[in-house]
């Protein structure tokens, strides 16, 4: 599956894919060369490997839920994290 491969390539971790937790649109910024994107977020379960930073981030580590919520400074990231942590598929 593409998601498993992408997570392995970007983080060094193996996962089991769970439920879809969100669909997010980024209307882009054509004036800055940023195209429109649609992002799908899934809940996944770690099955192996150790997290490592890929080309698109500066670091990777394990965090408790409280630590992750505290570190998510941008409102859109806090929202996505909240969606991922929600226990109800709604």
Range of the domain at 12: 2-62
pLDDT in tens, 27-81: 667 777 778 888 899 999 999 999 999 887 888 999 998 999 899 888 888 888 9
| Residue 51 domain flag | yes
Per-residue pLDDT, averaged over 4-27, amounts to: 92
| Residue 86 domain flag | no
C-alpha distances out from residue 22 to 14, 32, 41, 53, Å = 21, 26, 5, 24
| Residue 57 domain flag | yes
| Residue 43 domain flag | yes
How many independent structural domains does the chain possess? 1
In terms of DSSP H, where are the helices of the chain?
2-11, 65-71, 75-85
pLDDT band at 89 (very low <50, low <70, confident <90, very high): low
| Residue 79 domain flag | no
Angstrom distance (rounded) from CA 18 to CA 45 = 7
CA atoms 64, 14, 3, 57: torsion sign: positive
Asked if 83 and 39 touch (Cβ cutoff 8 Å), the reply is: no
- Asked if pLDDT for residue 88 goes beyond 70, the answer is no
- Asked if pLDDT for residue 5 goes beyond 70, the answer is yes
């Amino acid at each position: 599956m593409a998601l498993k491969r992408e997570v392995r390539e970007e983080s060094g971790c193996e996962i089991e894919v769970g439920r879809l937790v969100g669909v997010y649109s980024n209307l882009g910024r054509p004036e800055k060369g940023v195209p429109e994107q649609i992002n799908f977020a899934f809940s996944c379960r770690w099955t192996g490997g150790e997290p490592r930073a890929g080309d698109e981030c500066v670091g990777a580590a394990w965090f408790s839920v409280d630590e992750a919520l505290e570190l998510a400074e941008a409102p859109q990231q806090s929202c996505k994290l909240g969606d991922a942590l929600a226990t109800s598929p709604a």
